[in-house]
Protein backbone atom coordinates (compact mmCIF):
# COMPACT_ATOMS: atom_id res chain seq x y z
CA UNK A 1 0.00 0.00 0.00
CA UNK A 2 1.04 3.61 -0.51
CA UNK A 3 3.87 4.78 1.64
CA UNK A 4 4.39 8.34 2.57
CA UNK A 5 5.53 9.95 -0.67
CA UNK A 6 6.51 13.59 -0.40
CA UNK A 7 8.92 14.12 -3.27
CA UNK A 8 8.72 14.08 -7.04
CA UNK A 9 11.93 14.01 -9.03
CA UNK A 10 11.89 16.08 -12.23
CA UNK A 11 14.58 16.65 -14.86
CA UNK A 12 16.54 19.87 -14.63
CA UNK A 13 16.54 22.35 -17.49
CA UNK A 14 19.98 21.79 -19.09
CA UNK A 15 20.18 25.46 -20.10
CA UNK A 16 19.03 26.98 -16.85
CA UNK A 17 20.19 25.08 -13.80
CA UNK A 18 17.93 24.98 -10.77
CA UNK A 19 14.94 25.17 -13.07
CA UNK A 20 12.83 22.33 -14.30
CA UNK A 21 12.72 21.18 -17.94
CA UNK A 22 10.29 23.61 -19.62
CA UNK A 23 8.00 20.77 -20.70
CA UNK A 24 7.53 19.81 -17.06
CA UNK A 25 7.07 23.32 -15.66
CA UNK A 26 3.27 22.98 -15.25
CA UNK A 27 3.69 19.67 -13.46
CA UNK A 28 6.47 21.00 -11.24
CA UNK A 29 4.23 23.87 -10.13
CA UNK A 30 1.15 21.70 -9.75
CA UNK A 31 3.02 19.12 -7.67
CA UNK A 32 4.12 21.90 -5.28
CA UNK A 33 0.60 23.23 -5.00
CA UNK A 34 -0.67 19.78 -4.11
CA UNK A 35 1.51 18.81 -1.20
CA UNK A 36 4.68 17.54 -2.88
CA UNK A 37 8.20 18.87 -2.79
CA UNK A 38 9.77 18.62 -6.24
CA UNK A 39 13.46 17.72 -6.61
CA UNK A 40 15.71 18.06 -9.64
CA UNK A 41 18.13 15.71 -11.29
CA UNK A 42 20.26 16.38 -14.35
CA UNK A 43 19.31 13.98 -17.11
CA UNK A 44 22.16 14.97 -19.45
CA UNK A 45 24.79 14.37 -16.79
CA UNK A 46 23.08 11.08 -16.04
CA UNK A 47 23.35 10.03 -19.69
CA UNK A 48 27.04 10.95 -19.57
CA UNK A 49 27.29 8.62 -16.58
CA UNK A 50 28.30 11.51 -14.31
CA UNK A 51 26.04 10.13 -11.63
CA UNK A 52 27.37 12.22 -8.72
CA UNK A 53 26.86 15.43 -10.67
CA UNK A 54 23.50 14.29 -12.00
CA UNK A 55 22.11 13.79 -8.50
CA UNK A 56 23.96 16.53 -6.61
CA UNK A 57 20.82 18.65 -6.08
CA UNK A 58 19.25 15.82 -4.11
CA UNK A 59 20.55 15.84 -0.56
CA UNK A 60 20.57 12.69 1.50
CA UNK A 61 17.26 12.09 3.22
CA UNK A 62 17.22 11.43 6.98
CA UNK A 63 15.32 8.18 6.65
CA UNK A 64 14.18 6.05 3.75
CA UNK A 65 11.20 7.38 1.87
CA UNK A 66 9.51 6.57 -1.43
CA UNK A 67 9.84 8.95 -4.35
CA UNK A 68 8.23 9.35 -7.79
CA UNK A 69 10.12 10.22 -10.96
CA UNK A 70 8.45 12.32 -13.65
CA UNK A 71 10.70 12.78 -16.63
CA UNK A 72 12.17 11.49 -19.85
CA UNK A 73 12.06 7.84 -20.76
CA UNK A 74 14.73 5.55 -19.38
CA UNK A 75 15.79 2.11 -20.50
CA UNK A 76 15.33 -0.56 -17.83
CA UNK A 77 19.11 -0.52 -17.26
CA UNK A 78 19.09 3.26 -16.81
CA UNK A 79 16.07 2.96 -14.55
CA UNK A 80 17.83 0.44 -12.32
CA UNK A 81 20.83 2.75 -12.18
CA UNK A 82 18.82 5.74 -11.07
CA UNK A 83 16.96 3.50 -8.64
CA UNK A 84 20.27 2.63 -6.96
CA UNK A 85 21.58 6.19 -7.01
CA UNK A 86 18.43 7.40 -5.28
CA UNK A 87 18.54 4.59 -2.77
CA UNK A 88 21.97 5.84 -1.69
CA UNK A 89 20.23 9.11 -0.89
CA UNK A 90 17.52 7.31 1.06
CA UNK A 91 14.91 7.67 -1.66
CA UNK A 92 13.26 4.58 -3.06
CA UNK A 93 11.48 4.88 -6.40
CA UNK A 94 7.90 3.66 -6.15
CA UNK A 95 8.51 1.08 -8.89
CA UNK A 96 11.36 -1.42 -8.78
CA UNK A 97 13.30 -2.07 -11.99
CA UNK A 98 11.15 -5.15 -12.60
CA UNK A 99 7.94 -3.18 -12.05
CA UNK A 100 9.21 -0.50 -14.43
CA UNK A 101 9.91 -3.01 -17.17
CA UNK A 102 6.53 -4.73 -16.68
CA UNK A 103 4.77 -1.77 -18.29
CA UNK A 104 7.62 -0.17 -20.23
CA UNK A 105 8.28 -3.15 -22.53
CA UNK A 106 5.30 -4.36 -24.51
CA UNK A 107 6.48 -8.00 -24.44
CA UNK A 108 6.56 -7.78 -20.62
CA UNK A 109 3.07 -6.25 -20.40
CA UNK A 110 1.41 -8.84 -22.62
CA UNK A 111 0.92 -11.21 -19.68
CA UNK A 112 -1.45 -8.67 -18.11
CA UNK A 113 -3.37 -7.58 -21.20
CA UNK A 114 -3.51 -10.64 -23.46
CA UNK A 115 -7.01 -11.03 -24.82
CA UNK A 116 -7.73 -7.31 -24.46
CA UNK A 117 -5.02 -6.15 -26.86
CA UNK A 118 -4.26 -6.96 -30.54
CA UNK A 119 -2.43 -10.24 -31.25
CA UNK A 120 1.28 -9.51 -30.85
CA UNK A 121 4.53 -11.28 -31.72
CA UNK A 122 8.10 -10.10 -31.10
CA UNK A 123 11.75 -11.02 -31.51
CA UNK A 124 15.05 -9.44 -30.53
CA UNK A 125 16.81 -7.48 -33.28
CA UNK A 126 19.06 -10.46 -34.04
CA UNK A 127 16.07 -12.63 -35.02
CA UNK A 128 14.25 -10.54 -37.59
CA UNK A 129 14.04 -13.27 -40.21
CA UNK A 130 12.43 -15.57 -37.63
CA UNK A 131 9.93 -12.82 -36.88
CA UNK A 132 9.09 -12.42 -40.56
CA UNK A 133 8.46 -16.17 -40.77
CA UNK A 134 6.25 -16.07 -37.71
CA UNK A 135 4.27 -13.23 -39.27
CA UNK A 136 2.45 -15.88 -41.30
CA UNK A 137 0.03 -16.13 -38.35
CA UNK A 138 -1.38 -12.81 -39.59
CA UNK A 139 -2.03 -14.31 -43.04
CA UNK A 140 -2.81 -11.50 -45.51
CA UNK A 141 -4.10 -9.12 -42.88
CA UNK A 142 -2.50 -5.77 -41.97
CA UNK A 143 -0.02 -5.37 -39.09
CA UNK A 144 1.77 -2.53 -37.38
CA UNK A 145 5.47 -2.40 -36.46
CA UNK A 146 7.07 -1.11 -33.29
CA UNK A 147 10.01 -1.87 -31.00
CA UNK A 148 9.57 -2.99 -27.40
CA UNK A 149 8.56 0.57 -26.45
CA UNK A 150 7.84 2.92 -29.34
CA UNK A 151 6.46 2.99 -32.86
CA UNK A 152 7.26 5.31 -35.73
CA UNK A 153 3.64 6.31 -35.92
CA UNK A 154 4.51 9.63 -37.57
CA UNK A 155 5.99 7.62 -40.45
CA UNK A 156 2.81 5.60 -40.67
CA UNK A 157 3.01 4.56 -44.33
CA UNK A 158 6.74 3.85 -44.56
CA UNK A 159 7.67 2.42 -41.16
CA UNK A 160 4.56 1.58 -39.16
CA UNK A 161 1.63 0.19 -41.14
CA UNK A 162 1.95 -2.90 -43.36
CA UNK A 163 -1.16 -3.56 -45.43
CA UNK A 164 -0.61 -7.26 -46.07
CA UNK A 165 1.56 -9.28 -43.68
CA UNK A 166 1.97 -12.07 -46.26
CA UNK A 167 3.87 -9.63 -48.50
CA UNK A 168 7.22 -10.48 -46.94
CA UNK A 169 9.22 -8.05 -49.05
CA UNK A 170 7.06 -5.16 -48.00
CA UNK A 171 7.17 -6.29 -44.38
CA UNK A 172 10.96 -6.63 -44.49
CA UNK A 173 11.37 -3.24 -46.14
CA UNK A 174 9.19 -1.48 -43.59
CA UNK A 175 10.94 -3.18 -40.68
CA UNK A 176 14.24 -1.98 -42.18
CA UNK A 177 12.88 1.55 -42.52
CA UNK A 178 11.70 1.36 -38.95
CA UNK A 179 15.08 0.17 -37.67
CA UNK A 180 16.88 2.87 -39.58
CA UNK A 181 14.62 5.58 -38.20
CA UNK A 182 14.93 4.35 -34.62
CA UNK A 183 18.69 3.98 -35.04
CA UNK A 184 20.55 3.82 -31.75
CA UNK A 185 17.29 4.45 -29.88
CA UNK A 186 15.77 1.17 -30.93
CA UNK A 187 14.52 -0.69 -27.86
CA UNK A 188 15.55 -4.37 -27.76
CA UNK A 189 13.63 -5.84 -30.66
CA UNK A 190 10.77 -5.70 -33.13
CA UNK A 191 7.10 -6.18 -32.33
CA UNK A 192 4.40 -6.96 -34.89
CA UNK A 193 0.78 -6.48 -34.01
CA UNK A 194 -2.46 -7.31 -35.70
CA UNK A 195 -3.92 -4.06 -37.05
CA UNK A 196 -7.38 -3.42 -35.69
CA UNK A 197 -9.56 -0.82 -37.36
CA UNK A 198 -10.20 1.91 -34.87
CA UNK A 199 -12.95 4.48 -34.68
CA UNK A 200 -11.28 7.39 -36.42
CA UNK A 201 -11.94 10.92 -35.34
CA UNK A 202 -9.62 12.60 -37.85
CA UNK A 203 -6.17 12.34 -39.48
CA UNK A 204 -3.02 13.95 -38.12
CA UNK A 205 -2.46 17.33 -39.77
CA UNK A 206 1.26 16.64 -40.39
CA UNK A 207 1.82 12.90 -40.77
CA UNK A 208 -1.50 11.71 -42.20
CA UNK A 209 -1.72 9.08 -39.45
CA UNK A 210 -5.31 8.20 -38.61
CA UNK A 211 -6.28 9.60 -35.23
CA UNK A 212 -8.76 7.43 -33.43
CA UNK A 213 -10.83 7.63 -30.31
CA UNK A 214 -8.14 6.92 -27.74
CA UNK A 215 -7.72 7.64 -24.07
CA UNK A 216 -4.82 7.43 -21.67
CA UNK A 217 -5.69 6.11 -18.23
CA UNK A 218 -3.26 6.64 -15.36
CA UNK A 219 -3.23 4.24 -12.43
CA UNK A 220 -1.48 4.70 -9.11
CA UNK A 221 -1.38 1.85 -6.63
CA UNK A 222 -3.75 0.09 -9.06
CA UNK A 223 -6.39 2.79 -8.65
CA UNK A 224 -7.58 5.02 -11.44
CA UNK A 225 -5.92 8.42 -11.19
CA UNK A 226 -7.42 9.95 -14.31
CA UNK A 227 -8.51 9.41 -17.88
CA UNK A 228 -7.58 11.84 -20.65
CA UNK A 229 -8.26 12.25 -24.36
CA UNK A 230 -5.12 11.00 -26.07
CA UNK A 231 -4.97 13.33 -29.06
CA UNK A 232 -5.10 17.10 -29.07
CA UNK A 233 -6.68 17.17 -32.48
CA UNK A 234 -10.01 15.60 -33.30
CA UNK A 235 -13.43 16.01 -31.90
CA UNK A 236 -13.82 14.16 -28.62
CA UNK A 237 -17.44 15.10 -28.34
CA UNK A 238 -18.32 11.48 -27.71
CA UNK A 239 -19.33 10.04 -24.39
CA UNK A 240 -16.39 8.88 -22.27
CA UNK A 241 -15.88 5.10 -22.02
CA UNK A 242 -16.85 2.96 -19.07
CA UNK A 243 -13.65 2.29 -17.14
CA UNK A 244 -14.85 -0.47 -14.78
CA UNK A 245 -13.49 -3.40 -16.83
CA UNK A 246 -10.12 -1.67 -17.25
CA UNK A 247 -9.94 -0.89 -13.55
CA UNK A 248 -10.45 -4.61 -12.97
CA UNK A 249 -7.55 -5.53 -15.30
CA UNK A 250 -5.39 -2.85 -13.65
CA UNK A 251 -5.70 -4.58 -10.27
CA UNK A 252 -3.47 -7.41 -11.50
CA UNK A 253 -0.75 -5.28 -13.06
CA UNK A 254 2.48 -5.43 -11.09
CA UNK A 255 3.40 -1.77 -11.05
CA UNK A 256 2.55 1.05 -8.66
CA UNK A 257 2.23 3.71 -11.32
CA UNK A 258 1.36 3.05 -14.94
CA UNK A 259 -0.67 4.13 -17.93
CA UNK A 260 -3.10 2.12 -20.01
CA UNK A 261 -3.91 3.45 -23.46
CA UNK A 262 -7.27 2.31 -24.74
CA UNK A 263 -8.96 2.80 -28.11
CA UNK A 264 -12.40 2.26 -29.56
CA UNK A 265 -12.60 -0.13 -32.50
CA UNK A 266 -14.82 0.40 -35.55
CA UNK A 267 -17.16 -2.14 -33.97
CA UNK A 268 -17.51 0.03 -30.91
CA UNK A 269 -15.55 -2.13 -28.47
CA UNK A 270 -12.67 -0.74 -26.41
CA UNK A 271 -9.29 -2.48 -26.58
CA UNK A 272 -5.96 -1.87 -24.84
CA UNK A 273 -3.26 -0.45 -27.12
CA UNK A 274 -0.40 -0.55 -24.64
CA UNK A 275 0.73 0.01 -21.07
CA UNK A 276 3.48 2.41 -20.01
CA UNK A 277 5.32 3.27 -16.82
CA UNK A 278 3.56 6.25 -15.25
CA UNK A 279 6.83 7.99 -14.45
CA UNK A 280 7.85 8.42 -18.08
CA UNK A 281 4.45 8.68 -19.75
CA UNK A 282 3.48 12.06 -21.12
CA UNK A 283 0.39 13.73 -19.78
CA UNK A 284 -1.88 14.39 -22.75
CA UNK A 285 -1.94 18.11 -23.59
CA UNK A 286 -5.44 18.70 -22.31
CA UNK A 287 -4.76 17.27 -18.86
CA UNK A 288 -5.75 19.44 -15.90
CA UNK A 289 -2.35 19.07 -14.18
CA UNK A 290 -3.53 20.58 -10.94
CA UNK A 291 -6.34 18.05 -10.67
CA UNK A 292 -3.87 15.32 -11.66
CA UNK A 293 -1.53 16.07 -8.73
CA UNK A 294 -4.44 16.66 -6.34
CA UNK A 295 -5.75 13.19 -7.13
CA UNK A 296 -2.26 11.69 -6.90
CA UNK A 297 -1.90 13.12 -3.43
CA UNK A 298 -5.35 11.81 -2.49
CA UNK A 299 -4.47 8.25 -3.59
CA UNK A 300 -1.13 8.33 -1.81
CA UNK A 301 -2.57 9.62 1.45
CA UNK A 302 -5.64 7.36 1.52
N1 LIG B 1 -2.77 -2.81 -33.37
C2 LIG B 1 -3.18 -1.62 -33.76
N3 LIG B 1 -4.21 -1.48 -34.63
C4 LIG B 1 -4.58 -0.25 -35.04
N5 LIG B 1 -4.01 0.90 -34.69
C6 LIG B 1 -2.98 0.81 -33.82
C7 LIG B 1 -2.52 -0.43 -33.32
N8 LIG B 1 -1.49 -0.21 -32.49
C9 LIG B 1 -1.31 1.12 -32.49
N10 LIG B 1 -2.20 1.74 -33.27
C11 LIG B 1 -2.31 3.19 -33.49
O12 LIG B 1 -1.00 3.71 -33.60
C13 LIG B 1 -0.70 4.61 -32.54
C14 LIG B 1 0.69 4.39 -32.05
O15 LIG B 1 0.85 3.09 -31.53
P16 LIG B 1 1.52 2.80 -30.12
O17 LIG B 1 1.63 1.33 -29.99
O18 LIG B 1 0.81 3.53 -29.06
O19 LIG B 1 2.96 3.43 -30.36
P20 LIG B 1 3.79 4.50 -29.53
O21 LIG B 1 4.44 3.70 -28.48
O22 LIG B 1 4.75 5.07 -30.49
O23 LIG B 1 2.85 5.48 -28.95
C24 LIG B 1 -1.74 4.32 -31.48
O25 LIG B 1 -1.99 5.45 -30.69
C26 LIG B 1 -2.94 3.89 -32.32
O27 LIG B 1 -3.61 5.02 -32.82
MG1 LIG C 1 1.37 4.96 -27.64
The CA 153 to ligand 1 mean position distance, Å, reads: 7
Helices (H) and strands (E) counted in the chain, each on its own, are 11, 14
* The ligand 1 atom nearest the CA atom of 153: 14
How many angstroms separate the Cα of 142 from the Cα of each of 4, 127, 137? Answer: 47, 21, 11
pTM for this model (two decimals)? 0.95
pLDDT at position 1, please?
45
Ligand that comes closest to the CA of residue 195: 1
Query: What pLDDT score does 123 carry?
Result: 98
Q: What are the DSSP E strand ranges found in the chain?
A: 7-11, 37-41, 65-70, 91-93, 120-124, 143-147, 161-162, 189-194, 200-203, 210-212, 214-220, 223-229, 257-264, 270-277
Distance 273 CA to ligand 1 centre (A): 6
pLDDT tens sequence for the chain (302 residues): 455 899 999 999 999 889 999 999 999 999 999 999 999 999 999 999 999 999 999 999 999 999 999 999 999 999 999 999 999 999 999 999 999 999 999 999 999 999 999 999 999 999 999 999 999 999 999 999 999 999 999 999 999 999 999 999 999 999 999 999 999 999 999 999 999 999 987 777 777 676 889 999 999 999 999 999 888 765 556 678 999 999 999 999 999 999 999 999 999 999 999 999 999 999 998 899 999 999 999 999 98
Give the number of residues written for the chain: 302
151, 195, 208, 232: residue to mutate for ligand 1 pocket, most atoms within 8 A of CB: 151
Q: Which ligand is nearest to the CA of 143?
A: 1
CA-wise closest residue to 223 among 190, 189, 258, 188: 258
**Residue 206, pLDDT score:** 76
What does the pLDDT read at residue 236? 59
Ligand 1 environment, Cβ below 6 A = 118, 144, 146, 150-151, 153, 193-196, 198, 212, 214, 261, 263, 273-274
Quick one: which ligand is closest to 149's CA?
1
Q: Which of 211, 276, 216, 245 is nearest to 116 (CA)?
A: 245
How confident is the model at residue 80, as a pLDDT? 98
Please tell me the distance between residue 226's alpha carbon and the centre of ligand 1 in angstroms.
Answer: 20
Return contacts of 55-60, CB within 8 angstroms, 24+ apart.
55/85, 55/86, 55/89, 57/12, 57/18, 58/9, 58/86, 58/89, 58/91, 59/89, 60/88, 60/89, 60/90
Residue 2 is predicted with a pLDDT of 52
Distance 138 CA to ligand 2 centre (A): 22
Whole-number Å distance, alpha carbon 155 to ligand 2 midpoint, is: 14
Amino acid sequence: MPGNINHILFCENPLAHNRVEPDFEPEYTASKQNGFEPLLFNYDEFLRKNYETAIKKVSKNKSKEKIIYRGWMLTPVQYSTIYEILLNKNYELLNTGKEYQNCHYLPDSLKYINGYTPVTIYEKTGNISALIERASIFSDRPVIIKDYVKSEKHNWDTACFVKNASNKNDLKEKINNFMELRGEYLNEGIVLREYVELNNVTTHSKSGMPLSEEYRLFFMYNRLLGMYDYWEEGAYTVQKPETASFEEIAKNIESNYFTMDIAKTKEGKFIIIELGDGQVAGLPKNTDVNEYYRRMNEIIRS
